[in-house]
Amino acid sequence: MCADLNSSWTIGSVEIPTRLVLAPMAGVSVQAFRRQGRRYGAGLVCSEMVSCAGLSHRNERTLGYLRIGRDEHPLAVQIFGSEPGVMAEAARMVEAAGADLVDINFGCPVRKVTKTGAGASLLEEPERTALEVGPRLVEAGAASLTLHPRSAQQMYTGTADHALTAELVELVDVPVVASGDITSRERAASVLEETGCAAVMVGRAAQGNPWAVGEIAGVVDGVPTREDVVAELLLFMRDTVAEMGEQRATGFLKKFYGWYLGRGRFPRPFANELVRLETIGQVEERLFAAAPGASAVLARLEADLPPPENVLLDLPVSIYAGG
């Protein structure tokens, strides 16, 4: 196939404008992260993993993951679980919340997920390799498959074997998304070309680095300035506070400081200094002091944002106020 990252494709009836998918990542893929990915050229964005059991029990924190912004579409919400009936109920809730796609996790290698029988445990039987279970999933109704060709034992080490992706593409007649080691536009194009997959998924390369997403999507050329970095971090912080409330956001955001400010953009001690600050306001003040020109960049970014509109289920108000 022609490796055109900027052409549209479909999953079922859902049209996706580019062949770049922003991966679902636990503790990362919040609404603010997804919105940022859309701005930088991701054609499809995904939520972090949502517990089917949590949805079934109407857990407030879990239900909060079904907060969906109108500017996030097309959006896939990823669920994980091990009991078919509970997972079916969760899928119906995700659809009712307004998600375009329901994504089922078969690959998470993290112990707290696999010990419940979910994630990679769903494939742990010896005969159920990805190449064997893929066609069975399609027979059962799956409209698309995503393959991250590493074993659960590898976790996130080693190299993704996209020869397996090419084999899966040959076995099924639905779009296959290639995940793993997609870190540049050149690499994305070569994986598309060599495997025949429909799209590529970027994950860890996007953490604190929307410019990597933009480079792969072909909408960014060049290295961001310090002012660009600080402005995007501040916008992400404010969007996260609006999403989950300042108390939760204060702790959640700490890991992002190193992601944004690393890669030689700022001295390493600077991110460590921000982590030790007690309030979001103190972090903002310190960031503006480090890059005064960021205020003008931030103002331009905020002026270009669409009005915040969310599709809300009939859920407790506390969920949407950081509860």
CA dihedral 242, 207, 68, 7 (to 10 degrees): 140
Q: How do 145-147 and 176-179 pair as beta strands? A: parallel
* Beta strand spans in 197-287 (E): 199-202
Q: 276: how many CB neighbours lie within 10 A of its CB?
A: 8
What is the rounded radius of gyration, in angstroms, for the C-alpha atoms of the chain? Answer: 20
Q: DSSP assignment of 278-309, as one string? A: SSHHHHHHHHHHH-TTHHHHHHHHHHTSPP--
Who's near 228: CB < 8 A, 6+ residues apart? Answer: 211, 294, 297
Give 146's strand partners.
177
Q: Which of 2, 46, 52, 108 is catalytic?
A: 108
Give 68's strand partners.
311
> Measured between alpha carbons, how far is 45 from 33 in angstroms, rounded to an integer?
9
Who's near 222: CB < 8 A, 6+ residues apart? Answer: none
Who's near 96: CB < 8 A, 6+ residues apart? Answer: 313
The question of whether 197 is a catalytic residue gets the answer no
Token code pair at residue 224: 């961001």
90, 77 Cβ separation under 8 angstroms = no
Would you name the residues annotated as active-site residues?
108
